[in-house]
Amino acid sequence: MTTQQVKAGWERAIEDTAAKAEAEVRRVIAYLNEEVVPEVRRDSSRALRAAAEELSKLADRMDRRRSDAPSPGRSESPSRSDSRP
């Protein structure tokens, strides 16, 4: 076998491998676009809705605590002079 024949064989093998790799990349991209992206979009919207619900609950708790907290300058417990007989 001559050097040219060996070189031609390697080039053919590399071209075949590159063509197979390109076809596989196209298949993976199609799978991502058709299967993964729509699912991620659906799940992302669900996740955002769940996060919004939790943030709303947090805001409600903060509002309740603020309304339950004593006003500045007003003591929550009676002073010592009020507790003496």
Note the pTM of the prediction, 2 decimals: 0.49
pLDDT of res. 1: 78
DSSP E strand stretches across 1-85: none
Q: How much is the pLDDT for 84?
A: 47
The Cα–Cα gap between 16 and 33 comes to 26
For the chain, the domains span 24-61
Q: For residue range 15-42, what is the model confidence (pLDDT) as tens digits?
A: 999 999 999 999 999 999 999 999 888 8
Give the C-alpha separation, 83 to 4, whole Å: 107
Q: pLDDT at position 58, please? A: 95
55-68 pLDDT tens trace? 999 999 999 999 88
Split at pLDDT 50, 70, 90, the class of 46 is: confident
50 pLDDT above the threshold of 80: yes
Q: Is residue 83 predicted with pLDDT exceeding 70?
A: no
